Chain A
């Protein structure tokens, strides 16, 4: 999985490309998100437009970091999850835990 991180207006925008599943992909994203939290960056946007699959390991990571960031006043917001990601998150009942946006801009502005 490719993980590209940019900082925009005090928001970490994380662009993901590829399946988010057990192994290197989930480990890599966990490291990226943990580094953000360690640096005090608690406002996070995850662009999922090019994520073809999210498995239960990836869901667990997203849900855990959502809880962790909210506990310290931040948030994890999703951008453009494709129909399969939406289906998966909805199936396990966690889609409604997240705010979902159509663009990085809209997600970043929502933190203002």
Chain B
């Protein structure tokens, strides 16, 4: 995975579009995802790109709720959306959980995993976004859309 410096602008050149905290409640995910979609629509981001960002954020927030917070609504998840001068967008999802090792996840397209009822979230994020970085503790994901 490329180092953060390869993503172009440093953090101090990014403009904040959104900064939301939400309880770790499955029912709270949709509102944040929809707000981000609406924000990107106002910026005239094309529909295809909005869809891909929305689904990636949906998956990142769902992972944070279920795995980062154990479905405990007393815990908070933070979701930031920033844009770079070159039009690139980064979404940062942070949870208070212990994190995970993204390199140890099984391939959801291999063998019996294809028929599993879980285990596709991180794979989808990586497919939908242009660059994905997991924080060293695994409890923060930075997702870039170019």
Give the interface of A toward B (CB within 8 A).
19, 21-24, 53, 55-57, 59-61, 63-64, 67, 84, 88, 91-94, 97
Which of B59, B109, B115 contacts A55 (CB under 8 A)?
B59
**B14-27: contact bitstring with A at CB < 8 Å (1 yes, 0 no)?**
00000000000011
B-side contacts of A91, CB under 8 Å: 124, 127-128
Is there contact, CB below 8 Å, between A56 and B120? yes
Which of B27, B55, B114, B120 contacts A24 (CB under 8 A)?
B27
Chain B nearest CB, measured from A67 CB (Å): 6
A-side contacts of B127, CB under 8 Å: 91
Indicate whether A93 sits within 8 Å of B55 (C-beta atoms), given known contacts A23-B26, A55-B62: no
B-side contacts of A84, CB under 8 Å: 51, 55
Complex interface residues of chain B between 112 and 131 (CB less than 8 A to chain A): 114-121, 123-124, 127-128
B-side contacts of A63, CB under 8 Å: 114-117
**B24-51: contact bitstring with A at CB < 8 Å (1 yes, 0 no)?**
0011011001000000000000000001
A91 to B126, CA, bound (A): 10
Is there contact, CB below 8 Å, between B58 and A93? no
B-side contacts of A93, CB under 8 Å: 108-109, 114
B-side contacts of A22, CB under 8 Å: 26, 29, 58, 62, 65
Complex interface residues of chain B between 46 and 71 (CB less than 8 A to chain A): 51, 54-55, 58-59, 62, 65
Known: A21-B58, A24-B27. 16 other contacts (CB 8 A): A22-B29, A22-B58, A53-B58, A55-B62, A56-B118, A56-B119, A60-B116, A60-B118, A61-B117, A63-B115, A64-B117, A91-B124, A91-B127, A91-B128, A92-B108, A94-B114
A-side contacts of B33, CB under 8 Å: 21
Chain B: residues with Cβ within 8 Å of the partner, total of 26
A57 to B61, CA, bound (A): 12
Is there contact, CB below 8 Å, between A21 and B109? no
User: Nearest chain-B residue to A91 (Cβ)?
Assistant: B127
B-side contacts of A23, CB under 8 Å: 26-27, 29-30
